[in-house]
């Protein structure tokens, strides 16, 4: 059976960054997945990223691989690093260039099973023979966690989650109801309207929260007033973008902040494409949905309407993160994972309670902070992960040895039960993992 020191599962921003760091360190590894598949196949044409361009760069082990570098090399004179917005097309062009330069050997394989095997893991694929890997890194993003509430389930032809649409122009001339008040729902509504659809937004909140335009002041005074980091600007961002600082917080507060920080909101540049343009029902809750001829009728609880009819419903209802939904991890591994609010506890490097099994991105939010929900998290998390994986590869650590650093402190069960899900704390148009 073929052997590999390290297997990286996933070829999104985190997987690409991890592979680039491992390659730079001379660590033999295999990375599998379809490059940027979530972004390429599950986001609509015409989308703009919510994060500013400077916060959308994938971390590389050497300088020269930011989006600004890509724009300069390709003479893209319309690029602005500080004030955005960044189009999906431009971002994918950057990601493809990053991949060609630093991660040229991705294998398009689908992992079907990961089980413990001796001093490592046996990993099976749908397309070819299994391998043995000493360390496995799970960087699969958020696609497995897309959440459709029970009130909206059971009619897949009439009601779909926002992640299934890569084009919205097919809804031109049709009436579409969009559920939710975060960036995903609002930008979907704008794109539908611009494609000629009759759009109705339904949201639980009483008002839309619009983010402020980022501060372009890079003077000393500007930096003191609102310190800029990869994630955002301001002193709270410094904490949320730094796993080391985040891990100093009390465990109950860490768990709450991991999922509730950066609640649903709309990007500043989207405001004029939505407000006064599409019809928005605020303070209305979905009670249920039923087929009504060829349409779907939504039953509502709110001050203005008791129902809404549409040809189709698109649910921007976020994600319910639960590592148990990763189908390839064996029952033995799932049972051995120490978890809090359905996320694996990991140490500073991302290593779980199953030695040699690492997680990156959203799955590490409780341990490393809300910053890992975004592309910016590659800068704070990946260097530590690569260093730890390198130590294991060089010393030949067996599965019987403990993790090198302590896991995050446990969260009391009573606290965990009261925590919000990412459905209530939406974080943008789609995962930035």
Range of weakest confidence among 73-87, 227-241, 316-330: 227-241
pLDDT at 401: 39
Same domain, yes or no: 158 and 141: no
Query: What pLDDT does residue 135 have?
Result: 96
The arithmetic mean of pLDDT across residues 255-264, rounded, is 83
Residue 48 and residue 168 in one domain: no
Tell me what pLDDT residue 410 has.
Answer: 46
What is the predicted pLDDT for the residue at 215? 65
Q: How confident is the model at residue 273 (pLDDT cuts 50, 70, 90)?
A: very high
Q: Does residue 239 sit within a domain?
A: no
Q: Given this model, what pLDDT does residue 263 score?
A: 84
pLDDT for position 404: 42
Range 321-349 average pLDDT:
95
Give residue 44's pLDDT: 95
**What pLDDT does 301 receive?**
96
| Whether 346 and 393 share a structural domain | yes
Count CB atoms within 10 A of the CB of residue 224. 8
| Residues 27 and 97 occupy one common structural domain | yes
pLDDT band at 223 (very low <50, low <70, confident <90, very high): low
Higher per-residue confidence, 370 vs 236? 370
Are residues 186 and 60 both part of a single domain? no
In terms of domains, do 37 and 169 share one? no
**Average pLDDT for residues 167-172, to the nearest whole number?**
95
Question: Both 170 and 139 in a single domain?
Answer: no
Task: Tell me the pLDDT of the chain averaged across its residues.
Answer: 87
Residue ranges making up the domain that contains 395: 2-145+320-417
Q: Check residue 1 and give its pLDDT.
A: 75
pLDDT tens, residue by residue, 377-425: 999 999 999 999 999 887 764 433 334 455 654 444 443 333 344 443 3
Residues 18 and 120 in one domain: yes
> 275, 294, 315: which is the final residue of a domain?
315
Q: Is 222 inside a domain boundary? A: no
CATH of the domain at 339: 3.50.50.60
With a pLDDT cut of 70, the percent of the chain lying above it is 86
306, part of any domain: yes
Structurally, the chain folds into a number of domains equal to: 2
The predicted-structure confidence for 56-77, as pLDDT tens digits, reads as follows: 999 999 999 999 999 999 998 7
Q: 236 in a domain, yes or no?
A: no
Q: Which residue has the higher pLDDT, 77 or 159?
A: 159
Angstrom CA distances, 242 to 232, 261, 375, 377, stand at: 12, 14, 14, 9
Answer yes or no: do 202 and 67 share one domain. Answer: no
The predicted-structure confidence for 351-362, as pLDDT tens digits, reads as follows 999 999 999 999
Cα 3 to Cα 16, 104, 126, 242, 427: the distances in Å are 21, 20, 17, 35, 38
Assess if residue 81 is contained within a domain. yes
- The answer to whether the CB of 90 falls within 8 A of the CB of 103 is no
**Can you give the pLDDT at residue 407?**
60
pLDDT digits (tens, 9 = 90+) for 23-61: 999 999 999 999 999 999 999 999 999 888 888 999 999
Residue 232 lies in a domain: no
C-alpha atoms less than 13 angstroms from C-alpha of 69 in its C-beta half-sphere: 14
Side by side, the strands of the sheet bearing 279-281 are: 159-161, 312-315, 175-179, 198-202, 279-281
- Is the bond leading into 368 cis (omega within 30 degrees of zero)? no
User: What does the pLDDT read at residue 217?
Assistant: 60
How far separated are the first and last CA of the chain, in Å rounded? 31
Alpha carbon 166 to chain centroid, angstroms? 17
pLDDT at 411: 44
Statement to judge: residues 394 and 277 lie in one domain:
no
Judgement on whether residues 287 and 399 belong to the same structural domain of the protein:
no
Q: Choose the most confident range, by mean pLDDT, from 81-85, 235-239, 399-403.
A: 235-239
pLDDT > 70? residue 156:
yes
Is 25 domain-assigned? yes
Question: Same domain, yes or no, for 42 and 92?
Answer: yes
Residues sharing a CB contact under 8 Å with residue 259, sequence separation 6 or more, in sequence order: 321, 341, 365, 370, 419, 420, 421, 422, 424, 425
367 in any annotated domain: yes
Q: Answer for the pair 386, 25: CB distance below 8 angstroms, yes or no.
A: yes
Secondary structure of residue 428 in the 3-state scheme: coil
- CA trace torsion 413, 415, 420, 421 (10° rounding): -20
């Amino acid at each position: 059976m073929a052997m590999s020191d390290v297997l990286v599962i996933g070829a999104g921003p985190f997987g690409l960054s991890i592979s680039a760091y491992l390659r730079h360190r001379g660590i033999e590894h295999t990375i599998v997945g379809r490059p940027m598949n979530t972004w390429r196949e599950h986001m609509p044409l015409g989308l703009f990223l919510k994060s500013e361009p400077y916060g959308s760069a994938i971390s590389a082990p050497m300088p020269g691989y930011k989006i600004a570098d890509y724009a300069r090399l390709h003479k893209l004179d319309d690029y602005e690093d500080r004030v955005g917005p960044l189009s999906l097309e431009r971002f994918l062009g950057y990601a493809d260039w990053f991949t060609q330069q630093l991660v040229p050997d991705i294998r398009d394989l689908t992992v079907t099973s990961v089980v413990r095997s001796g001093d490592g893991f046996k990993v099976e694929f749908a397309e070819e023979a299994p391998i043995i890997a000493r360390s496995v890194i799970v960087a699969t993003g958020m696609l497995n966690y897309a959440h459709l509430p029970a009130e909206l389930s059971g009619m897949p032809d009439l009601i779909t989650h926002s992640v299934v649409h890569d084009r919205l122009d097919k809804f031109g001339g049709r009436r579409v109801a969009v559920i939710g008040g975060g960036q995903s729902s609002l930008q979907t509504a704008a794109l539908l309207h611009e494609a000629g659809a009759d759009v109705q937004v339904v949201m639980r909140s009483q008002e839309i929260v619009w983010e402020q335009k980022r501060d372009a002041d890079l003077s000393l005074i500007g930096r003191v007033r609102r310190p800029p980091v990869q994630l955002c600007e301001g002193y709270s961002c410094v904490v949320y973008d730094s796993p080391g600082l985040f891990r100093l917080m009390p465990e109950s507060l860490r768990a709450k902040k991991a999922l509730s920080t950066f609640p649903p909101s709309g990007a500043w540049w989207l405001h004029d494409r939505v407000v006064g343009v599409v019809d928005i029902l605020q303070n209305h809750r979905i009670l249920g949905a039923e087929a009504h001829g060829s349409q779907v009728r939504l039953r509502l609880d709110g001050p203005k309407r008791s129902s809404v009819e549409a040809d189709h419903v698109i649910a921007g209802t976020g994600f319910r993160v639960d590592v148990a939904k990763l189908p390839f991890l064996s029952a033995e591994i799932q049972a051995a994972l120490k978890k809090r609010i359905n996320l694996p506890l990991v140490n500073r490097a991302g290593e779980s309670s199953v030695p040699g099994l690492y997680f990156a991105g959203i799955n590490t939010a409780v341990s490393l902070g809300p910053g890992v929900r975004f592309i910016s998290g590659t800068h704070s998390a990946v260097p530590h992960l690569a260093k730890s994986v390198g130590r294991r590869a060089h010393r030949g650590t067996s599965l019987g040895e403990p993790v090198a650093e302590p896991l995050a402190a446990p969260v009391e069960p009573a606290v965990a039960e009261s925590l919000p899900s990412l459905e209530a704390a939406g974080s943008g148009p789609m995962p930035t993992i």
